[in-house]
Amino acid sequence: MGRVAVVGVAVAVAATACAVAAVVVGRRVRSRRKWRRVVGVLAELEEGCETTVGRLRQVVDAMAVEMHAGLASEGGSKLKMLLTFVDGLPNGCEKGTYYALDLGGTNFRVLRVQLGGQRSSILEKEVERIPIPQHLTSSTSENLFDFIASSLKEFVEREGGGSENSLNSRRELGFTFSFPVKQTSVSSGILIKWTKGFCIQDMVGRDVTECLEQAMTRKGLNMQVAALVNDTVGTLALGHYHDPDTVAAVIIGTGTNACYLERTDAIIKCQGLLTTSGGMVVNMEWGNFWSSHLPRTSYDIDLDADSPNPNDQGFEKMISGMYLGDIVRRVILRMSQEADIFGTVPSRLSMPFILSSYLIAAMLEDDSPELKEVARIFKDILEIPDVPLKVRKLVVKVCDVVIRRAARLAAAGIVGILKKIGRDGSGGITGGRSRSDVKMRRTVVAIEGGLYTSYTMFREYLHEALNEILGEDIAPYVILKDTQDGSGIGAALLAVAHSSNSVDSVQLL
């Protein structure tokens, strides 16, 4: 080979090497640029979800102000502040066997509780969870209630071995119905609207108790609703049964809400309301709380716009188990669209509600070094195999930001209630007094709902925020108590208190 040829080959090889290198470098530059975009999406999310203690305190104030407005006039606030007609809470003397039905989410529960007649003596309880077939949540009220009444009948029959007697004797029932209801008495009320994805149009505006009692009659069940309660109210009742310092209850599950004990003279929209105790439990329906201080992102705005109830339940959509997974899904979808972290956008990522809060909590709690659970969820649920570790880490971070914001906002809501009733150490909503002038009392808040009870991280974030907002002097006086099955058992307790042979209930305030 001549010299010229050798030089030619060398030049060609060098040119090829350069071209290959250019392609490799180009790819790296592009992939770095994409990664920067992904990290940018995360940074933007973190900024949008920021919940500094200063911002949380603004939410606290807004909550207390809205509570006042909701109590002042009908429609005065997005907080409905519904009267419950529960003016006394269980005092421990309740005795006998009572039933409760608890309807509020994807499952309903039937309970039988045997009460021993002394504080905290629940001798026996039997709880059966029954999944509600999806189609019934958007069917007719008759279909839904027939299904519930049939399940209740089977439960009662099992107790009495199906004997005539078990079905003939008239029983009183506590009915927990966890949707916004305008109560007309302690045992009746009109459904205002559905939440949590339920949509049975013929039910709105109708008396909930009547619907259940008619279905029970159709099924040959001799039962009567002695108390119709929201799940928060049931939880407060059980909380108070165990610990008389309980003044409020909060649910953080599929949906979210709170109730608390209010003085009747503070319920201005109901002038002249008289109760023997001088107080009444108010169902806040805080899921519908709104304030410009809430840290809202474009994902929240889109989720709301795509929901069946836009401009409604704004606080709930940032906090509760029904929505958190879908906020995370929307963030990952945007990352995938803007920087194709998974190649072409996987179709399952576009499916609303494919990621439940259960799955995002599982990803957040995955402590294996290679994030095996995250990889499994991506493969099995989203059908995205082989997600690189750095992407998995990023996804965990997204879950963390969304769950942390939810927990911290819930904490601010709780302090808002404490502020309204003068238990946050600040001297109440009008302030004035310095913290050192305020004498603090032990204050218990009963809590129920899967997000709080099942997820350690959520619980820890909530407690941390509560301590930050209240400060170390006041925080020790405020105790959050996990009140398992409170919504149902509490309804049974209230059924006792309001049944024909009721014993007196304690003074509220």
The residues binding ligand BGC (CB under 6 A) are 104, 178-180, 195-196, 230-232, 251, 253, 255-257, 285, 287, 316
Q: How far is the CB of 73 from ligand BGC (least distance, A)?
A: 21
CA 250 to centroid of chain Cα atoms: 9
Q: How far is the CB of 84 from ligand BGC (least distance, A)?
A: 11
**How many C-beta atoms lie closer than 10 Å to residue 399's C-beta?**
27
- Kindly give the pairing relationship between strand 256-263 and strand 82-83: unpaired
Residue 92 or 287 with smaller CB distance to ligand BGC: 287
**Separation between Cα atoms, residue 44 and residue 48, nearest integer Å:** 6
Residue 61 or 285 with smaller CB distance to ligand BGC: 285
What are the beta bridge partners of residue 116? Answer: 95
The 279-283 sheet, strands edge to edge: 82-83, 279-283, 256-263, 246-252, 443-448, 478-482
**How many C-beta atoms lie closer than 10 Å to residue 103's C-beta?**
24
Distances in Å between the Cα of 506 and the Cα atoms of 218, 239, 497 are 37, 14, 10
Q: How far is the CB of 449 from ligand BGC (least distance, A)?
A: 7
Q: How far is the CB of 255 from ligand BGC (least distance, A)?
A: 2
Residue 105 or 295 with smaller CB distance to ligand BGC: 105
Residue 396 or 409 with smaller CB distance to ligand BGC: 409
Q: How far is the CB of 345 from ligand BGC (least distance, A)?
A: 32
Q: How far is the CB of 259 from ligand BGC (least distance, A)?
A: 8
Residue 233 or 391 with smaller CB distance to ligand BGC: 233
Q: Do residues 229 and 175 lie in contact, with contact meaning Cβ atoms separated by under 8 Å?
A: yes
Report DSSP state, residue 438: P
Q: How far is the CB of 257 from ligand BGC (least distance, A)?
A: 3
Q: Which helix (H) or strand (E) holds 270?
A: none
Residue whose structure tokens are 């290198």: 21
Chain position whose Cβ is nearest to ligand BGC: 255
Residue 257 or 297 with smaller CB distance to ligand BGC: 257
Tokens of residue 453, six digits:
């009870």
Alpha helices in 321-455 (DSSP H): 321-339, 357-364, 372-380, 389-420, 450-454
Residue 285 or 424 with smaller CB distance to ligand BGC: 285
Q: Which residues does 505 contact at the CB level (< 8 Å), separation at least 6?
A: 87, 88, 89, 90, 91, 277, 497
